Chains A and B, each alone.
Chain A
């Protein structure tokens, strides 16, 4: 199982537009990706409701995990996405 951490760069945290773009990217990857905040339980990263409910704020760390073909590459892309200020790019 591949695992990566990321610090959320979006000013508003992982909400609204950033949450939408992130969960869309997870959905498009076709892999079962999970996301956890701090030591919290991991939830389905394709679920915008679960992701928003984590309440991740700007500067907080999350851990992504995935299994399957190309999991490392997918996680690398997702980490890059999280570490961009998604809210700034209108």
Chain B
């Protein structure tokens, strides 16, 4: 007889599963500034001095255990906690009648302002200063040390939420899985976990009740966290973990069981992402989002700056394929120097390629930078424009891009109009790439950012599948490549449908590639076509997925936990 196991539910990121002990990360303490001054000033000063000293010692200890870059960062942070000027300022504030917590807060804020004003490297160290503040305040208030604890053994990190700084400080070799109560599947923690292939479940109701050391089974594919898993579940998780580890080690190019090639590519956002792909078993990059180059700036990056980034990315990828998407700003990705304020419907406004209407030079500069990088590295990047709705726009982009020296020109198919007229678009460009997230948003008239409408955004929606099929068919007819670079390419079952429809490449987060590679290798092209046909014949998204899974190989379903 087994005791009933408690199962918590959330949204899974990735396909992995793992069993391990909980290591809780604690939130930063609230900084109550309206506190009466201490009765006993001498005692308050002694207490705060001791708190700084303890924080310095604990950081120094972690630095010694960590090694490498993390050790240097923690070591410098420990020195900040022991800084005579900082501690001296806090002491004089308390002696002047302030309570300890606001005294710490304001003293740290003064140095933080100084560092922020200096900019650059110093501004980045403000995070370390604030972490000293939070640790000291937590000690003063008798709360557990905030942030991710030092992991003595491989663990499942459980938190209400993780800040980008917390995530960056994770000792990844000891993180078995991540469980967070808040956040979302597109939050930074989920994205990083997805990239690294760490099983992660977000929005887990009840996660904050999990205690340190409790064994949990995390299943990202099912979106579940099982407390105190029994032997049977442990064995199942272990089998899946081993199978996934085996898959992750495979490096063959993507192909169906009968050898029909489907290129497996990665989505990236920076040159550093490209450099991380050096050893990854991907055939190239199917979507290089270039927005990061422009974000958080008050003016556009120069041609030289951009060319330098593209050179690094192309250089890292050697002769592998790279598809660069030109700037996709506007809507949910506003930029100070191009986005218009006051649009009532920014998702339907001047975004993506449409920016060319007001600022053609912005696009020309980017195209020139890409062409220059191609020349310098001897690479042959394909370049595509986002948010194309008409054949005139496709023609205009093709003319601009070829005029600036780009050899292979394409457009994104994200707007139903473009999908319906893909034949005409393909007559003027060399390839198209389906952005299924935006295509679903515009087909279903559903804001991508509204969690409550997530069922309407399902890429299995029959109307979305019809538009994908129309685009793929136009590609087959024209003999030109049709790629997919949205979320749906990462779903192994959908990857079979897309292959059956005639899609020639699938681009996804690198961690999703092994599962898709495995699913493809177990089905013939003919089987993929059958799977695509039953999916398209279904009336609803759920029926489409179900009908597809009924034809998917049983071992693929089990190992990838497709249901």
- Listed in ascending order, the chain A residues whose CB lies under 8 Å from chain B are 12, 15-17, 19-20, 23-24, 27, 43-44, 46-50, 52-53, 55
Contact = CB atoms under 8 A, between A and B. Distances in A.
Main secondary structure, interface of A, reads helix
A12 to B, nearest CB: 8
A49 B75 CA distance: 13
List of 8 A-B pairs having minimum Cβ-Cβ separation, nearest first: A47-B85, A48-B79, A20-B76, A17-B72, A49-B83, A49-B111, A20-B79, A53-B114
Best-buried of B75, B85, B122 by chain A (most CB within 10 Å): B85
Contacts of A23: 79
A46 B84 contact: yes
B84 A44 contact: yes
B84 to A, nearest CB: 5
A15 B123 CA distance: 12
Nearest to B119: A55
Contacts of A48: 76, 79-80, 83
B46 interface: no
30 contacts: A15-B121, A16-B72, A16-B73, A16-B76, A16-B121, A17-B72, A17-B76, A19-B76, A19-B79, A23-B79, A24-B79, A27-B84, A44-B85, A46-B84, A47-B83, A47-B84, A47-B85, A47-B86, A48-B83, A49-B85, A49-B86, A49-B111, A49-B114, A50-B83, A52-B122, A53-B111, A53-B114, A53-B115, A53-B122, A55-B122
Interface string B74-107: 0110011001111000000000000000000000
A20 B75 contact: yes
B449 interface: no
Contacts of A27: 84
Nearest to A48: B79
B57 interface: no
A55 to B, nearest CB: 5
B127 to A, nearest CB: 14
B340 interface: no
B118 interface: yes
B72 A49 contact: no
B85 A50 contact: yes
B125 interface: yes
Contacts of A49: 80, 83, 85-86, 111, 114, 129
A30 to B, nearest CB: 12
B75 A17 contact: yes
Contacts of A46: 84
Nearest to A23: B79
A7 B154 CA distance: 45
A55 B122 CA distance: 8
A49 B115 CA distance: 9
B467 to A, nearest CB: 52
B73 to A, nearest CB: 8
Contacts of B121: 12, 15-16
A27 B84 CA distance: 9
Contacts of B75: 17, 20
A55 B84 contact: no
Nearest to A43: B85
Nearest to B114: A53
A55 B123 CA distance: 11
A47 B129 CA distance: 13
Interface in B360-418: none
B105 to A, nearest CB: 15
Interface string B120-137: 011001000100000000
Contacts of A47: 83-86
Contacts of B85: 43-44, 47, 49-50
A38 to B, nearest CB: 15
Contacts of B125: 52
Q: In this complex, which of A12, A49, A55 has the most chain B Cβ atoms within 10 angstroms of its Cβ?
A: A49
Nearest to B76: A20
A20 B73 CA distance: 10
Contacts of A44: 84-85
Nearest to B108: A49
Q: Which of B86, B115, B125 has the most CB of A within 10 A?
A: B125
B508 to A, nearest CB: 36
A60 to B, nearest CB: 14
Contacts of B80: 48-49
Among B75, B76, B115, B122, chain A packs the most CB atoms within 10 A around the CB of B76
Contacts of A55: 118, 122
A19 B122 CA distance: 12
Contacts of A24: 79
Contacts of A53: 111, 114-115, 118, 122
Contacts of B129: 49
Given A50-B83, A52-B125, 14 more contacts: A16-B73, A16-B121, A17-B72, A19-B76, A19-B79, A20-B72, A24-B79, A44-B84, A48-B76, A48-B79, A48-B80, A48-B83, A53-B118, A53-B122
A16 B80 CA distance: 11
A15 B79 CA distance: 12
A86 to B, nearest CB: 11
A26 to B, nearest CB: 10
Contacts of B72: 16-17, 20
B14 to A, nearest CB: 34
